[in-house]
Chains A and B, each alone.
Chain A
Amino acid sequence: METPDFLDLFISEAREHIEGQAALLTRARSTPLQRDEINDLFRHAHSIKGMAAAMGFSAMSSLAHAMEDLLHQWRDGASAPTPASIDLLTRANDHLSAQVDTLVSRQEMPSGDEIGRQIRLLHSPPENPPRPPASAAADAAGHARGPDAAPADASDTRPRLLVDIAIRQGAPLPGARAMVILKRLEEHGQVLEVSPAPQILATGKFNGRLRIVLASRIAADRVASVAGGLADVAACEVTPAAPPEDPAEDSERRLAPRRTLPDRRDEEAGEAPVRAETISSIRVPTERMDRLLDGIGELILDRERLKRALEADPGSVAAEILAGLGRTVDTLKDDVMTIRLLPFSSIVPRLERAVRELASRLGKEVDLVVRGTEVSLDRSTLEEMMDPLQHILRNCIDHGVEGSEERRGAGKPVRGRIEIDLSRRDERVCLAVSDDGRGMDPEALRRVAVERRYLSREVAMRLSDDEALMLVTIPGFSTATRTTDISGRGVGMDVVRMRVQKLGGHLIIRSQTGSGTRLEMDLPSTVTVTRAFLCRAAGGVFAVPVSAVQATFEVRRDVVQASQGERVLRRGDDLVTVLPLGGVLAGDRAAPFPDAFPALQYQVGKRTYALGVDEILGEEPIVVKPLRHPLELLPQYSGAAILNDGQIALIVDPINLTRTSWQP
């Protein structure tokens, strides 16, 4: 049953249930759980258990089962929530989440046995079902009447048949199977006796063998074929039985199986409010959203092409229709892009969970504060940022935040504080993660870089403090005095930087020794269609997003001066460093400029740059298509676009382009 479609559906539904539980359990820490909240918790655990079992993920389903049993007790009032048990369930839920994560990362799923065991220690599973008082009267041999047996009628002269049934070894829920058999036999006669007794059958704890005394006019072989034809019946033998026993020996032993859930009918009689559940949202696989978006992108391009092809007279009917079409397409595009947007709050629970887990494993006390959670990002951007954010949080907790002793000594509050801040600026989102830990020392980083021969001493000295901080994004770099098995070497900052770049964003690291570190990531909020300058350079066409460009202007080579190995010019008060796009892409930063050329001005940190190109062809909307592996590793390109004439233009990211051009 494990087609990829089901796995995705399973993961998304399982996560919903896990999030639901997380929200309820978080609430439970401050306010006592209401009855319907306990019911909801129970149903979430139950659903996870069922779905995981259906997929064969026994590690998940057995943990969920343990949770469900405890929640069942809470429902019944057999036990009540305590801070310890709520905490345990929280941990168990976090573990379920981690198990789902391994499905995505295709790692081995960890067992939940340890936590499951702890949960079971909190309660002993209820007797299933509790014995009704009348069972004391059941005789030692366990004989009893059939579940709906009326008192044996001495005048019932129908022949007695002895029905011996063997339920298939390994059949699920043998007790329920026995019940089905009994019910079916009741359609053909009256069940006078059944052994073992129904309350034993209901527990499922018997050897699978049933003996039934049936009063019926139907021929024995007919009964045998009825019973034998049922699912999970391995064998069935029907023989005439001895005449009826002395009715005086039978006692009234109506032993209907007990229900273990509180009787819903009582609840309803008390007029509990019924929540109207209307379908107000649907789940759509991200792939379908991607295809929808591609379609919109094509529509936009087609509109541009049509506009050009018609070269319509501005006042004409065609121009009007085209304008209307344009508005419709723009609205459609905005709507679809909005559908893809998710508020950051949708991943906050996972981040909180990660912080809890890491803090506990690393023996640190840390609080997480998230601000700007309503800021929305494209859902695939959010998904792609999960790993980098987890790396960053791991670093903060492992290397950034000090142990309580050290913090006390430094006059800091004992609990470390990690803040995640989101803010929106035009089409970009700024995501910052900061901690109040020990910070990073640029001098120490320079030293390590030289020691490890990443840089020569001269170059290292020339690096500004900001640039020195970025050294941690070199793969394998680590200034940790000890490597833990969790963070490992290099602490994954190179992965963080690459992932941010892949998404079309930038990473800046700020730090103050002793006070803390702040990582700022500037990301595009939407993907797909964006306006860009199409430029010719190095014989090809490149796209530079309009949002990255401050201005475009003509440059005459004679105003360009050499200064400290760079070529610069003055624009008003600014000193602008000029780079040749074609040259930089070809690895030749010092390629000569033509006499006059257009340039696009942009900012990298505090410095102003201008990218010189052969020609600016125009400014138009382009559909951003992500680059596939391994091209997405190239930081200077943030994607590709298909142009009107079918040519492919690589989309240049000026900031990353500039950074990669710095000589080591």
Chain B
Amino acid sequence: MAIRVLVVDDAMFMRSMIKDILVNAGGRYEIVGEASNGREAIARFRELNPELVTMDIVMPQLDGIEATREILKVDPAAVIVMCSAMGQEALVVESISAGAKDFIVKPFTSDRVLQVLAKVLPGAGGGSAAP
């Protein structure tokens, strides 16, 4: 069963790249939706209930960090991976603080992205247990 992914980035170009990587991962991932800003991301998340969200940080209308917060309110178990550019460490740190599970950095390489995603989903190396 393919993992259902929502791709969020305000640049169509970036969305295409990410989709390309995921679609060529041997059927492991299925792109179920896209959004180009934080508000759309929240709406689509509610509609589609994806298992994984890739989230750009700087976007118009509502940025990725806020969108992450809102989505986690809707579903605290949501798995969100931030997509960041170099030089945005503080924003990524804040995203993680807000509840994003991991991050990938541009420029993306297929291997890197797939590696990070493989480890971020529950059941992939280190599930949670009662502290």
Contacts and interface: CB of A to CB of B under 8 A. Distances in A.
Interface of A: 1, 6, 9-10, 13, 39, 43, 46-47, 49-51, 53-56, 65, 69, 128-129, 147, 158, 172-173, 175-176, 179-180, 183-184, 187-190, 201-204, 216-218, 222, 225-227, 229-231, 256-261, 264-265, 274-275, 277, 283
Contacts, number: 148
A229 B119 contact: yes
Contacts of A257: 90, 93-94, 97
Contact of B58 (A43, A65, A69, A202): A43
Contacts of B125: 225-226, 229-230
A55 B63 CA distance: 23
Contacts of B58: 43, 46
Given A13-B12, A50-B106, A179-B97, A218 B90 contact: no
Contacts of B126: 184, 225-227, 229-230
Nearest to A181: B96
Nearest to B124: A229
B107 A173 contact: no
B105 A173 contact: yes
A442 B48 CA distance: 72
15 contacts: A39-B60, A43-B60, A172-B86, A173-B86, A176-B95, A176-B103, A218-B129, A229-B125, A231-B119, A256-B97, A257-B94, A259-B90, A260-B90, A261-B63, A283-B12
Contact of A6 (B17, B84, B115, B129): B17
A210 to B, nearest CB: 14
A6 B13 contact: yes
B82 to A, nearest CB: 8
A201 B96 contact: no
Given A183-B96, A225-B125, A128 B106 contact: no
Contacts of A275: 61
A65 B10 contact: no
B37 A179 contact: no
Interface string B103-127: 1011111100001100110001110
B44 interface: no
Contact of B85 (A9, A46, A188, A202): A46
Contacts of B11: 13, 47, 50-51
Given A6-B13, A172-B105, A260 B91 contact: yes
A50 B94 CA distance: 19
Interface in B31-73: 36-37, 58, 60-63, 65-66
Contacts of A69: 87
A51 B13 contact: yes
5 closest A-B pairs by beta carbon, nearest first, are: A229-B125, A226-B126, A176-B92, A172-B105, A179-B96
Nearest to A188: B131
Contacts of A264: 62-63, 66
A49 B58 CA distance: 12
Contacts of A231: 102, 115-116, 119-120
B111 to A, nearest CB: 11
Given A175-B93, A229-B119, A231-B115, A13 B106 contact: no
Contacts of B103: 173, 176, 180
A187 B119 CA distance: 15
Contact of A218 (B86, B87, B131): B131
Contacts of B89: 128, 173, 175-176, 202-204
B40 to A, nearest CB: 9
Interface in B1-43: 10-14, 16-17, 20, 36-37
Contacts of B62: 264
Contact of A180 (B20, B86, B102, B106): B102
A598 B89 CA distance: 78
B109 to A, nearest CB: 8
Contacts of B63: 261, 264
Given A54-B107, A227-B126, 20 more contacts: A1-B20, A1-B110, A13-B11, A46-B58, A47-B11, A173-B86, A176-B89, A176-B93, A183-B97, A202-B93, A203-B89, A218-B131, A226-B125, A257-B90, A258-B90, A259-B90, A259-B91, A260-B90, A275-B61, A277-B37
